[in-house]
Amino acid sequence: MKAIVTGAAGFIGFATTRELLRQGFEVVGVDNLNHYYSVELKKARLENIGDTSAFRFVKADISDKEQLELAIGSEKNVDVIVHLAAQAGVRYSIENPSAYVSANVEGEVRVFEQALKYSSCPPVVYASSSSVYGGNRKVPFSEDDRVDDPVSVYAATKRAGELLARSYHHVHKLKTTGLRFFTVYGPWGRPDMAPWLFTDAILEERPIKLFNYGKMQRDFTYIDDIVDGVVTVTKKIMKEPEKVADIYNLGNNKPVPLMEFVEAIEQATGKKALTELCPMPPADVKKTYADISRAERDLEYHPTMSINEGIVKFVNWFKRYQGK
């Protein structure tokens, strides 16, 4: 079984690649190693995959047609593409919207076009986001809810990716499944996300910013639970594509108030947080909450990691990685 994984040096891409390899896949990883956050962290993830003949990494920008063709155009017998490459980060999309259109819209089109060029026309599992639910007030968020009220450029590009997937299925019969991830955290996570930012600040006794004056909730989902869903969809879309839906929520189904999240980090670090209450940024939402009933039904998806256990695992890894 051969999988192409885009974004293989990213947080979810790295963890997914490692699990696919563990389950006997041959994996070709693609990533442009951009400077949105530490390239050294991305390289460290790739090194942590291990020395295996079943993995080949190639540096390429998925939004560049020639680079992508050169990187993976000659691959044979591709069974599936797991498209996890993206320009991440909600707030950064206010500063640099063109980066999101390039990676998340143009890049996805390039990946779909590349899939069509293979004689096997492999199915594509791609990353979407809980951000597509935007200003929706009904919770938990269901895949059947309307998603036409994005509150950030990031969310709009992720929704555009979903619509493009439907178009490619309608016109070209390309089988695709999108995964709406809900606030993924854990070891090897991103430095721009709250677990990293808060843990680093608390250990260094710097204040942390609590947006909306601390009155926020997130459906924090541990990386291993997310990867379980990604790999299950990947294997099922290869064998039984007709039994896989076009969109799934992958979340924990347990929203955590921001102050409880901070308390979990305080307990894991043994230090008290210094806090600064701030208003809500314009691209944020107050609450995310995943309805995972569809994933439970089709994928037997059952996340198990509690926020307290998950944060302990993250903090222990963070201390080792940072030498603290």
Structural element, H or E, at residue 265: helix 258-269
Cis peptide leading into 140, omega within 30 of 0?
yes
323 CB-near residues (< 8 Å, 6+ apart): none
Q: What is the CA radius of gyration of the chain?
A: 19
Closest to 212 in 3D by CA, of 295, 116, 288: 288
The two tokens of residue 145 are 């809810």
Side-chain half-sphere exposure of 48, counting CA atoms within 13 A: 20
Q: How far apart are CA 92 and CA 31, in angstroms?
A: 20
Is residue 186 within 8 A of residue 227, CB to CB? The reply is: no
Is residue 232 within 8 A of residue 165, CB to CB? The reply is: no
Q: How far apart are CA 264 and CA 266, in angstroms?
A: 5
Closest to 30 in 3D by CA, of 41, 16, 19: 16
What's the one-letter identity of residue 273? A
Active-site hit among 92, 154, 168, 289: 154
* Ramachandran area for residue 198 (φ above 0: left; ψ -120 to 50: alpha; else beta): alpha
DSSP string, 85-145: -----TTHHHH-HHHHIIIIIIHHHHHHHHHHHSTT---EEEEEEGGGGTT--SSSB-TTS
37 given a catalytic annotation: no
Sign of the CA dihedral running 254, 258, 260, 264: positive
What's the one-letter identity of residue 45? R
Query: 3-class SS at 110?
Result: helix
Indicate the pairing of strand 2-6 with strand 80-83.
parallel
Q: Which residues are catalytic?
A: 154
